[in-house]
Chains A and B, each alone.
Chain A
C-alpha cells in the first residue's frame, strides 16, 4: 500500500509571504528526498534537504538538458523549446564549461569590486529622482528594477534606453503562466535585439561584455548564435532576479524594523555582506525548482534515483533546513547564512552572484539611510506578490517616506 504522492505546489500562503509553501515544508519535514506529482501526471523526485540538495547538484551524473528528460513544471514549458532560456544554463559539461568560462571573467570578485563605485552612483541618482518625485511611490518601478537594469546594461553594453523592451520580454519568460508560444516569441525578440547589438559591437567595439563576446566570434572561438544566446541569458538573468531581491528584501526589512536598523547603522562591510546573505537565504526568491535528470542510478538520502528519472531540487526548503540554520524561520541578519543555496549549487551555480551580492550590499543601506522614515503605503494583504513567477518577488511595492 503506497501513500498518494502530493502535488507539486510552490505557492506561498497569503499570510506568510516570506515562507515556503506550507505543503512543501510539510513534505520536507517528512523526508529529505521524496516524490512529487506534476501537472502532467509525472512523479519526479523532490529533493528538499540541504545536504541532499548540494549532493545531487554537485553529482556529475545528473543532466540539465531538457532533451534528456528533465521534469516540465508547467504546460507552457512543455511546448516551448530552448530559446526561451538559452545558452549554457541548459547545457551539460563539457559544452557548458566551455561557454561559461567565456563569461566568468566579467564576474570575478575583483571585477565586481571595480563596479561598486559606479553602482553606488547609479543608486544615488535613482534615489535623487525618487525623492524628487511623487510620494507615495512604487519602489519596484522607481528603484528596484532600474538599478540592476542599469548595472547589467552598462556591463553588457546594452543601451538602457531600451529597458522597457528587455524588461517586458524577460517578464514573459519567467512568468509560470506564459504559454510556450509567448515564451518562445519573447526569447526570439530578445535574441533578434542582441544580434543587432552584436553586429554593432563587431563593427565598433567598446569596453563591455558584448564587445568581448564579439571579439571571440571574430577569433572563431564562438559562433554568432552562441554569442547572442549568452547575451540574452546575461541580460535576462542579470536584472529580474536582483530586482526582485531588492524589492522583496526591502519589504522584509520594513516588517522587521530592528533588523533594518542593523543594516542602516552599520558601516562594517562584513556585517552588511552577512545581512545580504541572510536575506537571500530567508526569502529564497529562486523557488521555481531546479530541474535535473539522472543519467545513472544515484543513491541519495536513502533512496535510489534510477537512470532516466527526473529530479526537482528545492532551494527554499534547503534554506530552512534546521540542521544547517538553527531557528530557520526567523530572519536574523547576524547569523552566518553563507551556506544558503539561493544561487543554486554545483556547476550551474549562479555566474552573477558576486555582482548580485554587491548590488544588494549597496542598495539596501543606501535606501534605508536616504529615507529613514521609509514605510509601506499599502496593507501587506494588498501587496501583489509574484505567486505566478519562477522567481518570487512583488509586482509593486507602494512606499512612503
Chain B
C-alpha cells in the first residue's frame, strides 16, 4: 500500500489523524497533514482507506 498526500489541498480538518494515527499527523502551526508513513503495513489498510474516504479535501490518495 502506498499513500500520498497533497498539502496544498488539505483543509486541516484532522479526520485522517483520527482514522489512522500511525500514518497521519498534523503540522503544529496550521494543522496541515503530515505523512508519517508512506508505505503503511497491510493491517492498517482499513484505517488508511477510511482516512482517504473521510478527507473533505480529497487530499489523500491510496494505491494498493
The CA-CA distance from A27 to B19 in the complex, in Å, is 33
Neighbouring A residues of B19 by C-beta, 8 Å: 338
The CA-CA distance from A97 to B32 in the complex, in Å, is 11
| Contact (Cβ within 8 A) A353 B13 | yes
Residues of chain B from 13 to 31 with CB closer than 8 A to chain A in the complex: 13-15, 17-19, 25-31
What are 9 A-to-B residue pairs whose CB atoms are below 8 Å?
A57-B56, A100-B11, A105-B28, A107-B12, A108-B14, A110-B25, A338-B19, A345-B56, A354-B13
Which 8 A-B pairs rank lowest in CB-CB distance, beginning with the nearest? A104-B12, A104-B31, A349-B56, A108-B26, A109-B17, A101-B30, A108-B31, A109-B14
Question: Which of A97, A344, A348, A357 gathers the greatest number of chain B CB atoms within 10 Å?
Answer: A97
Answer yes or no: B50 CB below 8 A from chain A CBs: yes
Answer yes or no: A58 CB below 8 A from chain B CBs: yes
Contacting residue for A354 out of B14, B50, B56, B58, CB 8 A? B14
Residues of chain A from 110 to 129 with CB closer than 8 A to chain B in the complex: 110, 112
The CA-CA distance from A386 to B49 in the complex, in Å, is 37
The CA-CA distance from A274 to B27 in the complex, in Å, is 25
Question: Which of A57, A349, A353 gathers the greatest number of chain B CB atoms within 10 Å?
Answer: A349
Chain B positions within 8 Å of A, measured between CB atoms, are 11-15, 17-19, 25-32, 50, 53-54, 56-58
Query: Which residue on B lies nearest to A97, using beta carbons?
Result: B11
Chain A positions 75 through 115: 1 when the CB is less than 8 Å from some CB of chain B, otherwise 0: 00000000000000000000001001110110111101000
The CA-CA distance from A112 to B13 in the complex, in Å, is 12
| Contact (Cβ within 8 A) B12 A339 | no
Chain A positions within 8 Å of B, measured between CB atoms, are 57-58, 97, 100-102, 104-105, 107-110, 112, 273, 338-339, 343-351, 353-354, 357
Neighbouring A residues of B54 by C-beta, 8 Å: 338-339
| Contact (Cβ within 8 A) A107 B30 | no
Contacting residue for B14 out of A339, A344, A348, A353, CB 8 A? A353
Neighbouring B residues of A110 by C-beta, 8 Å: 25-26, 28
| Contact (Cβ within 8 A) B31 A349 | no
The CA-CA distance from A297 to B62 in the complex, in Å, is 30
Q: A104-B31, A107-B31 are in contact. Are A350 and B12 (CB under 8 A)?
A: no
Interface SS of chain B: loop
Query: Which residue on A lies nearest to B18, using beta carbons?
Result: A109
Neighbouring B residues of A357 by C-beta, 8 Å: 18
Other contacts beyond A102-B30, A338-B15: 11, CB < 8 A: A58-B56, A100-B12, A104-B11, A104-B30, A108-B12, A109-B17, A110-B26, A338-B50, A345-B56, A353-B13, A354-B13
The CA-CA distance from A164 to B11 in the complex, in Å, is 32
The CA-CA distance from A347 to B8 in the complex, in Å, is 11
The CA-CA distance from A349 to B10 in the complex, in Å, is 11
How far does the Cβ of A230 sit from chain B's closest Cβ, in whole Å? 14
Contacting residue for B53 out of A58, A107, A339, A346, CB 8 A? A339
The CA-CA distance from A52 to B58 in the complex, in Å, is 15
How far does the Cβ of B45 sit from chain A's closest Cβ, in whole Å? 15
How far does the Cβ of B9 sit from chain A's closest Cβ, in whole Å? 9
The CA-CA distance from A112 to B26 in the complex, in Å, is 12
The CA-CA distance from A238 to B32 in the complex, in Å, is 21
| Contact (Cβ within 8 A) A349 B14 | no
| Contact (Cβ within 8 A) A105 B29 | yes
Contacting residue for B32 out of A101, A112, A273, A339, CB 8 A? A101
Neighbouring B residues of A338 by C-beta, 8 Å: 15, 19, 50, 54
The CA-CA distance from A102 to B32 in the complex, in Å, is 11
Neighbouring A residues of B12 by C-beta, 8 Å: 100-101, 104, 107-108, 351
| Contact (Cβ within 8 A) A105 B56 | no
How far does the Cβ of A62 sit from chain B's closest Cβ, in whole Å? 14
| Contact (Cβ within 8 A) A349 B13 | yes
The CA-CA distance from A152 to B50 in the complex, in Å, is 29
| Contact (Cβ within 8 A) B31 A58 | no
Neighbouring B residues of A339 by C-beta, 8 Å: 53-54
Query: Which residue on A lies nearest to B17, using beta carbons?
Result: A109
The CA-CA distance from A108 to B13 in the complex, in Å, is 8
